[in-house]
Amino acid sequence: MKISLDWLKEFVDIPWSAEEVAERLTMLGLETESIEKIQCTTDKVVVGQILKIEKHPQADKLTVCTVNVKSEELQIVCGAKNMKEGDLVPVAMIGAQLPNGLKIKKGKLRGIESFGMMCSTSELLISEESDGLWLLPDTFKVGDCVNNSFPIEDTLFEIGITPNRGDCLSHLGIAREIAAYLEKPLKLPSTDFKEEKESVDKKIKVKVEDTDCLRYTARVLEGVRLEVSPVKIQLRLNRCGIRPINNVVDITNYVLLELGQPLHAFDLTKIKSNQINIRSARAKEKLQTLDDKELTLDKESMVIADADKPIALAGVMGGKESEVNEKTTSLLLESAYFDPSRVRKMSRSKALISESSYRFERGVDIENVAFASKRAAKLLQDVAQAKILKGVVDVQPKKWTKKKIKLRFSRIPKILGCDIPEKKILSILNGLGIETKTKNKDGVEVEAPTHRHDLSLEIDLIEELVRFYGTDNVPTTHPEAEVRPIQAKPEQQTVARLNQAALGMGFNQVLNYSFMAKKDLIPHFIPASQFDQNSLALENPITEELKYMRPRLLPSLLRTAQYNLARDNKEIAIFESGSTYHPNSKGNGQTTERPSFTLLMSSKEPKVNWKENSLSADFYDIKGISLSLLNALNIFDLNMIPLKDSVYHPGQAGAWVSDKKEIAYVGQIHPLVLKHFSIEPPLFAVEIFLDLIPYKRERLNKLRPIPKFPKVSRDIALVLPNATSEQDVRDVFNQLKSNLLENVSLFDVYQGAQVPEGMKSLAYSLHYRSQDDTLTDELVEKEHQKICQVLKDKLGCEFRA
Amino acid sequence: MNPSIETLREEASKKIAAASALEELEQLRIDYLGKKGSVPALMQSLKDLPNEEKPLFGKSVNELKGEISSLLSDKKDELSASVLNEKLQDEKLDITLPGSRYLLGKKHPINKVMDEAIEIFKGLGFSLEEGPEIESEYYNFEALNIPDNHPARDMQDTLYLPTGSLLRTHTSPVQIRVMEKQKPPFSFIAAGKVYRHDADVTHSPMFHQIEGFLVDQKTTFADLKGILETFLNQLFHKKISTRFRPSFFPFTEPSAEVDISCVMCDAKGCRVCQNTGWLEILGCGMVHPEVLKSVNLDSEEWQGFAFGVGIERITMLKYGIADIRLFFENDARFLNQF
């Protein structure tokens, strides 16, 4: 909130500069976010009287005025229209610098010389807007400095008040903190006024039925003259961010900013039977609020009602019908205490937030309720000539009990790590109005003041102590070390290993939002017909584009690819680790999060440059990459089966199966999916579903001895129908029971002139070795022939020379 | 000394020395040492000599043969070396052309800073814990002493899912989840994604946090200051001044926001620190007794601190990044700078 230094100084003598005030408040936990200094050469802004207004010979929109400022008569060219001869106006003379930064110099406007400027309220930063000159009331004297009547200069602080400190939402509250820090007395404003003989009881009856109203005071004022507020009140309201309306409304707002107590003034004549009931609303009761909304009320709503109907939503907003207007002469002035959480509930459910509700829901000072009412009455008498009926109706159904708190001195070093001298403890508590009830050598028992709703536990008091003792005075130490084993969790290791492997292969890590647009999910990732049951939508998304929790990482990565391609970043080699989010299939509102890893690659392999720019990646490259990634997780027992997923190319995609689970998808992205993302094919992806992967430590196999004897290799080329997969061949090799065949490696795949149509040739090297002996040709030949025969029998293949 | 031997020796050594190519050298070998060469011819002449001269002459010719072969062999080495040199010269590359492939990928800056922070805390004895991103009101708010209908709820604008679940607004729910499952003392950090209904140049609806938590029987506010100063010094690789500004979080008390001396201007005052010399960097405090109570721990026995660090904020300061949205656009020209 905005706090005026000039206003603060009415409550406490402050010996500090504006910067020191800001620094001090900040270190007390009242974060001063900005300092705005309003400066003006006040001796050069004086009251002038317009003697003569003449048309400007060259310009229709300008006039030439003669203005008497007592010491001289000035000729001033003016663009305003709202003045007449005889009016008093503020005049900025040559050499003046105005709060908005304007410097006044002798000037010539369309050929006529001008010696100064007549000012509007906005030019003096009294209001944000203005139309025309500020016409001063006749209490101002010609030639006087305008500043003599009210201070133009001030410093405004923007202070961020945390939600626990409702007591600081006023100048009084901030001043109380400063006074406590300075150990100086707090000066309260005057509440002196004259009362009429007639008693308030005769004019108004108050009945509190709803127990969430803990105190209600009503005062009656008559003969009120509704008009514009004095300049000082307007100025302060404006500078603190509240628009002045009329003297009555302005004074309730002024007291709100001054003392933190929300007040409301009703037009007394609109209160049926002069009866005020504070009660829960009846079902379907209606209330037209001040801001012209029609509310339909319910039992949750606490209302101020007259004999008939609600006239205000308690603590939130007044009703239109009982609003003060230009015909109003008698007022009912309400000052009350409503339960914080009840007000908050009403304010939220009706989507109405006001200066009042903001303070009530943070808790106002129940003891301050009557004082604020008196203060407002005094100001209304001073400013609006109000006649104040004798006494006040003050209903407090339940006595407020102040919270008692025990503070053990030994707890202070136990929590803070340092001692605070007992004398200092007592002076801090005292300064804050925390009254010590009993005291012994071990501690004190205190009573929390009524304005401090945040004080109820011992720790709350310790916080107050450290706030005023200063965190800088707490030493900096290290916890006493206890040796505890720290073991990274398996899941964390899995992700770290995958990330490291992908980085090692040249892929960049990306981070996308966890939410995305519906249009990127339909139809390829979730079919339109099943969208509602299979998607997880935010109730209050930032935008439609960020509404759906992503069910897969792939669509985000495709968006990232498209974003980069559109910016001429041609090489796509990226990966992301993160969660995917899924509604529970049972439709019970439960959700699941699945850890996932996805990698995306364009046909240009990562980090390939001038030397190899003709190389292009294909399915086998992404397959190799996926294998390396899974190997990095110590997963070696892997099989690839064809993948049926509409996101992928039907003929160039596979799923890695391990332990009977499809743990990863690999392949080329379907051209139709790419088309949706405006990407030219091809693009290849690996998706690894980490929740399906058991964490595996490194395999601890015993070392096999390095062979002592040489190997013998024989090459064969098998001619097979195209439909036979390489896996079929490998299965045969794997099932062979040969002591001599050490391993088999595929070294060529050929289709073309040398083999018949519809056939392909797979060429393998078979490596033979014995652990005990150097093999003889004879022995190898015998074994090789045996193996060839098995291949022929099982696969029906021919051999190529 | 036989004059013909001497002549031949001189001639051979001259010619071999003068040879400039391997072919030429081979021809000289044939000329001198080949079957029909000069040296075998001299040996042939041995039979015509008187017997008493034969041994000496024979020895001299053999010596000559030895000398010539050794000259030839040395010269051959010399010429081979220069041939190889020429070949290598021909193979000369422009070594300033860029290297190709086998370049590492780039870690995302957020992960980079997060991993760095995790490493620092590991070194300080904190383990790493995790929790779900989709949370309940209970873990995200109530158990953390943020009751419903309390203005403290306004501090964090929440993104809601149907049936009352929400995206966690901070990593603090992990405190509760860990305390429910394990026994004190606790010293862990929790890192991960968090979400708020907020989007502008410095606020992202998704961002990353690291939560630190230490509860035992004696850890104090002074210890909190010590741990955080150590962390910040290591993270920014320099001595950082801090100030602990009293503040409010429902789940800690006393609470503080930590400001560090501006790393952009060394606290001289700049646009980033709005001329204050200070940058707000994290929130912290002593774990609130109500939080301990929610997991049935007695605050008379157990105490300690908690803190939360925004990773985006720190990364922006470390690398001078002004717009938070850059992190999630993943432009290669951005990522490749890390």
β partners of residue A405: A446
Distance separating the N- and C-terminal Cα atoms of chain A: 91
Instruction: State how far the Cα of A668 lies from the Cα of A600, in Å rounded to an integer.
Output: 10
Neighbours of A417 (CB within 10 A): 21
Instruction: State how far the Cα of A654 lies from the Cα of A666, in Å rounded to an integer.
Output: 5
Ordered DSSP codes for A545-588: GG-EE-S-SHHHHHHHHHHHHHTT----EEEEEEEEEEE-TT-S
Neighbours of B150 (CB within 10 A): 20
The answer to whether A132 touches A119, Cβ cutoff 8 Å, is: no
Tell whether A488 lies on the interface with B, counting CB pairs under 8 A: yes
Tell whether B337 lies on the interface with A, counting CB pairs under 8 A: no
Interface test with A, best of B97, B104, B127 (most A CBs within 10 A): B104
**Close Cβ partners of A750 (under 8 Å, ≥ 6 residues apart):** A717, A760, A761, A763
- What single-letter amino acid sits at A212? D
| Subunit contact A546:B205, Cβ cutoff 8 A | yes
Alpha-helical segments (H) within chain B: 3-18, 22-33, 38-44, 54-90, 109-123, 137-140, 173-181, 221-236, 289-294, 311-319, 326-329, 332-335
**Close Cβ partners of A762 (under 8 Å, ≥ 6 residues apart):** A717, A718, A720, A726, A729, A746, A748, A749
pLDDT at A433: 94
pLDDT at A642: 93
The shortest C-alpha distance from A370 to chain B (Å) reads 25
Tell whether B268 lies on the interface with A, counting CB pairs under 8 A: no
For residue A35, give Cα distances in angstroms to A8, A170, B147, B272, B280.
Answer: 14, 17, 34, 17, 17
Instruction: State how far the Cα of A452 lies from the Cα of A429, in Å rounded to an integer.
Output: 12
Q: Can you read off the two tokens belonging to residue A619?
A: 């399915």
| Subunit contact A542:B125, Cβ cutoff 8 A | no
- DSSP 8-state symbol, A690: G
Tell whether A27 lies on the interface with B, counting CB pairs under 8 A: yes
Rounded to 5 degrees, what angle do the CA atoms A489, B125, B178 make? 50
For residue A403, give Cα distances in angstroms to A230, A435, A437, A450, A452.
Answer: 41, 11, 11, 9, 10
Q: Which residues from chain A sit within 8 angstroms of residue B240, using beta carbons?
A: none
Instruction: State how far the Cα of A65 lies from the Cα of A89, in Å rounded to an integer.
Output: 12
pLDDT at A416: 97
Which residue in the set A542, A575, A589 is minimally distant from B197, CB to CB?
Answer: A542
Which residue in the set A487, A503, A540 is minimally distant from B159, CB to CB?
Answer: A540
Contacts across the A-B interface (CB distance below 8 Å): 249
The shortest C-alpha distance from B323 to chain A (Å) reads 15
| Subunit contact A510:B132, Cβ cutoff 8 A | no
B109-335 CATH: 3.30.930.10
The shortest C-alpha distance from B337 to chain A (Å) reads 11
Tell whether B105 lies on the interface with A, counting CB pairs under 8 A: yes
β partners of residue A712: A768
For residue B283, give Cα distances in angstroms to A57, A649, B116, B184.
Answer: 66, 50, 19, 23
Tell whether A610 lies on the interface with B, counting CB pairs under 8 A: yes
Residue whose tokens read 């602080």:
A157
Query: Considering Cα of A240, then A242, then A245, then A250, what sign does the dihedral take?
Result: negative
The answer to whether A761 touches A800, Cβ cutoff 8 Å, is: yes
Q: Which residues from chain B sit within 8 angstroms of residue A612, using beta carbons?
A: 100-101
For residue A343, give Cα distances in angstroms to A212, A310, A317, B147.
Answer: 9, 16, 11, 15
Q: Which residues of chain A have pLDDT under 70?
A: 481, 587, 605-615, 696-700
Task: Identify the CA nearest to A93 among candidates A65, A114, A109, A111.
Answer: A114
Which residue in the set B220, B226, B248 is minimally distant from A415, CB to CB?
Answer: B220
Which residue in the set B106, B214, B256 is minimally distant from A479, CB to CB?
Answer: B214
Instruction: State how far the Cα of A392 lies from the Cα of A203, in Å rounded to an integer.
Output: 11
Phi, psi of B215, rounded to the nearest 5 degrees: -130, 120
Rounded to 5 degrees, what angle do the CA atoms B260, B266, B268 make? 105
Tell whether A511 lies on the interface with B, counting CB pairs under 8 A: yes
Q: Which residues from chain A sit within 8 angstroms of residue B129, using beta carbons?
A: 489
β partners of residue A89: A48
Instruction: State how far the Cα of A718 lies from the Cα of A755, in Å rounded to an integer.
Output: 10
Tell whether A568 lies on the interface with B, counting CB pairs under 8 A: no
Instruction: State how far the Cα of B152 lies from the Cα of B145, in Å rounded to an integer.
Output: 9
Query: Digits of tens for pLDDT over chain B (338 positions)?
Result: 566 788 888 999 999 999 999 999 999 999 999 998 888 888 888 888 888 888 888 898 899 999 999 999 999 999 999 999 999 999 998 888 877 767 889 999 999 999 999 999 999 999 999 999 999 999 999 999 998 888 888 888 899 998 789 999 999 999 999 999 999 999 999 999 999 998 888 899 999 999 999 999 999 999 999 999 999 999 999 888 999 999 999 999 999 999 999 888 888 888 888 888 898 999 999 999 999 999 999 999 999 999 999 999 999 999 989 899 999 999 999 999 99
The answer to whether B141 touches B149, Cβ cutoff 8 Å, is: no
Q: Which residues from chain B sit within 8 angstroms of residue A479, using beta carbons?
A: 214, 216, 218-219, 223, 226-227
What ipTM is given for this predicted complex? 0.88
Instruction: State how far the Cα of A281 lies from the Cα of A304, in Å rounded to an integer.
Output: 9
The shortest C-alpha distance from A435 to chain B (Å) reads 21
β-strand pairing of A286-288 with A294-296: antiparallel
Among chain B residues, the shortest Cα distance to A570 is held by B332
Among chain B residues, the shortest Cα distance to A507 is held by B105
β-strand pairing of A117-118 with A88-92: antiparallel
Which residue in the set A416, A546, A564 is minimally distant from B221, CB to CB?
Answer: A416
For residue A714, give Cα distances in angstroms to A727, A767, A782.
Answer: 21, 7, 12
Tell whether A477 lies on the interface with B, counting CB pairs under 8 A: yes
Burial-class residue A800 by CB neighbours within 10 Å (0-12, 13-18, 19+): middle
Interface test with A, best of B183, B330, B335 (most A CBs within 10 A): B330
Q: Cis link prior to A421 (omega < 30° from 0)?
A: no
Tens-place pLDDT, residues B109-148 = 999 999 999 999 999 999 999 999 999 999 999 999 998 8
The answer to whether A692 touches A592, Cβ cutoff 8 Å, is: no
Which residue in the set B104, B125, B220 is minimally distant from A504, CB to CB?
Answer: B104
For residue A115, give Cα distances in angstroms to A43, A46, A58, A79, A80.
Answer: 16, 13, 18, 14, 16
CA–chain centroid gap for A263, Å, is 31
Instruction: State how far the Cα of A163 lies from the Cα of A303, in Å rounded to an integer.
Output: 25
Among chain B residues, the shortest Cα distance to A560 is held by B330
- DSSP 8-state symbol, A472: G
Ordered DSSP codes for B52-120: TTHHHHHHHHHHHHHHHHHHHHHHHHHHHHHHHHHHHHHT---TTSPP-S-PPP---HHHHHHHHHHHH
pLDDT at A490: 77
The shortest C-alpha distance from B281 to chain A (Å) reads 14
Number of helices (H) and strands (E) in chain A: give both, helices first.
18, 39
Interface test with A, best of B159, B241, B298 (most A CBs within 10 A): B159
Instruction: State how far the Cα of B33 lies from the Cα of B70, in Å rounded to an integer.
Output: 12
Task: Identify the CA nearest to A374 among candidates A382, A592, A129, A477.
Answer: A382
Interface test with A, best of B95, B134, B163, B182 (most A CBs within 10 A): B134
Task: Identify the CA nearest to B141 among candidates B114, B191, B111, B175.
Answer: B175
| Subunit contact B332:A569, Cβ cutoff 8 A | yes
Instruction: State how far the Cα of A252 lies from the Cα of A383, in Å rounded to an integer.
Output: 12
Among chain A residues, the shortest Cα distance to B219 is held by A479
- What single-letter amino acid sits at A323? E
| Subunit contact B254:A579, Cβ cutoff 8 A | no
Phi, psi of B336, rounded to the nearest 5 degrees: -70, -10
Query: Considering Cα of B331, then B336, then B337, then B338, what sign does the dihedral take?
Result: positive
- What single-letter amino acid sits at A594? R
The shortest C-alpha distance from A716 to chain B (Å) reads 34
pLDDT at A274: 93
Instruction: State how far the Cα of A633 lies from the Cα of A693, in Å rounded to an integer.
Output: 9
Burial-class residue A502 by CB neighbours within 10 Å (0-12, 13-18, 19+): buried
Among chain B residues, the shortest Cα distance to A459 is held by B253
Q: Which residues from chain A sit within 8 angstroms of residue B289, using beta carbons?
A: 457, 459
Neighbours of A549 (CB within 10 A): 26
The shortest C-alpha distance from B185 to chain A (Å) reads 10
Q: Can you read off the two tokens belonging to residue A689?
A: 């579903």
Phi, psi of A270, rounded to the nearest 5 degrees: -90, -5
Q: Can you read off the two tokens belonging to residue A123?
A: 């030019």
Task: Identify the CA nearest to A766 among candidates A781, A750, A749.
Answer: A781
The shortest C-alpha distance from B115 to chain A (Å) reads 10
| Subunit contact A511:B289, Cβ cutoff 8 A | no
